[in-house]
A and B are shown apart, each in its own frame.
Chain A
Amino acid sequence: MNRQAQTVVLLLTGGALLHAGFTDLYLRYVKAGLQPLLISAGVVLIAVAIATLWYDRRTTRHSQAQTQTQGHEHEQAHAHHEPRVSWLLVLPLLALVLVAPPAVGSYTAMRTGAALQQQPWGYPTLPADGTLRLSVADYAGRAVYDKGRALAGRPLKVTGFLALDGAGTPYLVRMALNCCAADAQPVKIALSGELPAVLRPDTWIEVTGTYTPKQTKDPVNGTAVPFLDVTTTKPVKAPQDPYDEAWNG
């Protein structure tokens, strides 16, 4: 890989990082906290490309005057090469800019064991009346570890995306993220009750329902998965950040 090609790849990679960092695209792949790092990395990569161009021009201009320093010229010529493996940097670039793969969804969720952790400091008390809005992880945590205390007998609203297991059981899922999509883990709620006739995986819905003490076990890792008794469902827009990041503090 010669120097000009390197400059192009560096420039494009930096540009792609900036593009992902300034739009919401990066939220599909990494946690929100990485945004400043992504943007600064993009700036540095572009700076490297510009510096390479600038020093190349200077070297060309001064090369006549430096005829006696042939040894250095020789070594510099060596430095122009990088192994062919550097070309692979083009792949994530193409994937990010042209394809922009979606956030991990039902396929990964159903292959990965549910993640649910007991909060050691317990669960804060909920407002006493009205419809409760809970995150998937909050409902699942309270249902499994808090025995549904303060949930029973009141209307609940939970938002997540749909996933179906092999037997066709519907789940409401939200992926919890720690660092990047490679470590995303699903938090699952099994759904029962009044469900729409057609269930399409990966569609985002808001479920209104009530607590039920029924539980099942995740077939993949045996974690407890609570049920939610659904009364109505409503399709909603996918949230800006598809992942639940509150989970790890």
Chain B
Amino acid sequence: MKMDSITKKGRRTGHEQPRPASRMTTDKGEPARTAQPFHTEVPSPVVMTKEEAPRTPDSPDSPDSPDSPHRSRHLDAPLVLTMLLILAVVAQDPLRGLLDAPVTQSWMTVFVAVVVQALPFLVLGVLLSAVIAVFVPASFFARALPKRPALAVPAAGLAGVVLPGCECASVPVAGALVRRGVTPTAALAFLLSAPAINPIVLTATAVAFPGNPEMVLARFVASLLVACAMGWLWQRVGRGEWMRPPERPSYEGQSKGAAFWGSVRHDVMHAGGFLVVGAMAAATLKAVVPASWLNAAADHPLIAILALAVLAVLLSICSEADAFVAASLTQFSLTSRLAFLVVGPMIDLKLFAMQTATFGRAFALRFAPATFALAILVSALVGAVLL
């Protein structure tokens, strides 16, 4: 009966209504979707009263009635959450016992630490991306960047100097730039260079390698080279359809405030979930895999570079801290530690998950391995010249 009424109504107004209607019937777990049929029903009170009659017979037109048909389903998610919380409180003691093992404790500490450390930077990046999406006119970027993509790439790469954050901030910002009409090649160069060459990260590198100031220069040069090379590579072989146009609502017709907060909420929920995935992977590596495995790899120069590059991907350390970890890997050559510093901010588990969320899986599956390979190659070359 519900479906009938909606399709009837759809024909009347000339909208393509059957699709949402059928979705509503299949997808019971997603309550908000049921809002669609409701909103479209507003203009045809006859149909609406037919449907609403059993539940709110007395006030079919009151502004509050929209929520009543799906409120019961809306409650599901918070209800489940509350149940979980209560369950956790009740079972606190057995849970504590389980969690007392040093492995689980260490895992949880690292997991919480990565999330807590990354959230402020994620929020910063998300706010910045919302500002770009809502308050900066698209024409600004058209004027600010060189017309030719080949020139826009190094310009955008150098612009990474001004974003003083770690890699969690750069993903949402790059996503906002693409949506604002910045050529993807330039946005990608920015995405890769910003976490590696900003002043905070370079200062940290200088502090971590007091005896090797050339490390700072090598990191700057190698990161910028990889960022530009990936931008140009994308321009050459990249195809538009790989990069899924980021799914998001159009903010036209909303007030700027609503659009701004909507964008912030969307990005936090989206990127935050994937951040948690990355944090879990990093915590598992840190707590479970013995560090002594690395020693075997340190002796051979080429294997050392590969091993530290893979380690950088798995550890997913914030780019503001990775220099100190690299400095402690004293058994490795400087070049292999450079690879660690170049690969880490560009691609790691957490970033891969976040890139998948922002640009789509087809993009991330191609972009991540290419970045990884190119970063290793460039750091080996730069290391050979500078270190």
Residues of A within 8 A of B (CB): 1-6, 8-10, 13, 17, 20, 26, 28-30, 34, 37-38, 40-41, 44-45, 47-48, 51-52, 55, 58, 60-61, 63-64, 67, 69-70, 72-83, 85-92, 94-96, 98-99, 101-108, 111-113, 115, 117-120, 178-183, 185, 219-223, 248-249
Q: B78 within 8 Å of A by Cβ?
A: yes
Number of interchain pairs (Cβ within 8 Å)? 273
Contacts of A220 in B (CB 8 A): 291-292, 295
Contact status A2-B113, CB under 8 Å: no
> Is B123 in the interface zone, CB < 8 Å from A?
yes
Interface assignment of B374: CB less than 8 Å from any CB of chain A: no
Known: A1-B269, A81-B33. Is A48-B264 also a contact (CB below 8 A)?
Answer: yes
Enumerate chain B residues within 8 angstroms of A119, measured Cβ to Cβ. Answer: 210
Counting CB contacts under 8 A, is B30 at the interface?
yes
Stretch with Cβ within 8 A of A (4 or more), from B143-151, B153-161, B228-236, B317-325: B317-325
Q: Measured between alpha carbons, how far is A31 from B180 in the docked complex, in Å?
A: 35
Interface string of B84-110 (1 = CB under 8 A from A): 110011001001100100110110111
Nearest-CB distance from B322 to chain A (Å)? 8
Contact mask B304-334 → A, CB, 8 Å, 1/0? Answer: 0000000000011110111011011111000
Contact between A182 and B113 (Cβ–Cβ < 8 Å)?
yes
User: Which of B66, B252, B282, B292 meets A182, CB within 8 Å?
Assistant: B282
Q: How far is the CA of A219 from the CA of B294 in the complex (A)?
A: 12
Taken together as a complex, chains A and B put the C-alpha atoms of A28 and B111 apart, in Å, by 12
- Best-buried of B114, B115, B264 by chain A (most CB within 10 Å): B115
Name the one of A85, A94, A102, A221 contacting B88, with C-beta atoms under 8 angstroms. A94
Stretch at the interface among B49-57, B190-198, B217-225, B270-278: B270-278
Question: How far apart sit A92 and B130, CA to CA, in the bound complex (Å)?
Answer: 25
10 A-B pairs besides A20-B116, A80-B35 with CB distance below 8 A are A5-B78, A29-B112, A48-B265, A64-B63, A77-B36, A88-B277, A178-B324, A179-B317, A182-B283, A223-B330
Q: Is A111 a contact of B290 with CB atoms below 8 Å? A: yes
1/0 per residue, CB under 8 A from A, across B55-92: the answer is: 00000010110110000001101100100110011001
Which residues does chain A contribute within 8 Å of B207, judged by CB atoms? 248-249
Chain A residue numbers with a CB within 8 Å of B84 are 90, 94
A residues in contact with B119, CB < 8 Å: 13, 17, 38, 41
- Subset of 25 A-B contacts with CB under 8 Å: A20-B116, A40-B120, A40-B123, A48-B261, A48-B265, A55-B261, A60-B63, A60-B66, A67-B43, A76-B249, A77-B35, A77-B39, A79-B249, A88-B276, A98-B95, A103-B109, A104-B106, A107-B102, A107-B103, A107-B105, A117-B210, A180-B113, A183-B321, A183-B322, A221-B330
Most interface-central of A106, A107, A178 (chain B CB within 10 A): A178
Q: List 8 tightest A-B contacts by C-beta distance, closest first.
A: A179-B321, A5-B77, A181-B113, A180-B117, A79-B249, A80-B32, A107-B102, A85-B273
Cβ contact of A2, chosen from B20, B74, B85, B327, cutoff 8 A: B74
Q: Check if B378 is an interface residue, CB within 8 A of chain A.
A: no
CA A85 to CA B350, docked complex, whole Å: 13
CB-contact partner of A90 in B75, B81, B114, B318, under 8 A: B81
B112 cross-chain contacts in A, Cβ below 8 A: 29, 92, 95-96, 101, 181
Q: How far is the CA of A60 from the CA of B68 in the complex (A)?
A: 12
**Residue numbers in A under 8 Å from B325 (CB-CB):** 178, 183, 185
Verify B320–A89 contact, CB threshold 8 A.
no
Give Cα distance in the complex from A180 to B325, angstroms. Answer: 11
- Asked if B279 is at the interface of the complex by the 8 Å CB criterion, the answer is yes
- Contact of A75 with B250 at beta-carbon distance under 8 Å, contacts A41-B120, A48-B265 already known: yes
B120 touches A34 (CB 8 A): yes
Residue on B nearest A185 in the bound complex, by CB: B328
Q: How far is the CB of A122 from chain B (nearest CB, A)?
A: 12
In the complex, chain A residues whose CB is within 8 Å of the CB of B78: 4-5, 8
Which residues of the other chain, A, contact B113 by a CB distance below 8 angstroms? 28-30, 180-182
- Contacts A51-B257, A75-B250, A249-B207 given: A45-B268 contact, CB under 8 Å? yes
A118 to B20, CA, bound (A): 66
Residues of chain A within 8 A (CB-CB) of B102 are 105-107
CB distance from B240 to the nearest CB of A (A): 22
Query: Given A115-B328, A179-B320, A182-B117, are A99 and B99 neighbors across the interface (CB < 8 Å)?
Result: yes
| Residue in A closest to B82 when the chains form the complex, CB atoms | A8
Q: State whether A81 and B291 are in contact (beta carbons under 8 Å apart), knowing that A75-B249, A180-B321 are contacts in the complex.
A: no
B338 within 8 A of A: no
Q: Is the CB of A89 within 8 A of B116?
A: no
Contacts of A111 in B (CB 8 A): 290-291
Q: Which of B123-142 contact A (CB under 8 A)?
A: 123-124, 127
B318–A180 contact, CB under 8 A?
A: yes
Q: Please, which residues of chain A bring their CB within 8 A of the CB of B31?
A: 2
How far apart are the CA atoms of A86 and B273 in the complex, in Å? 4
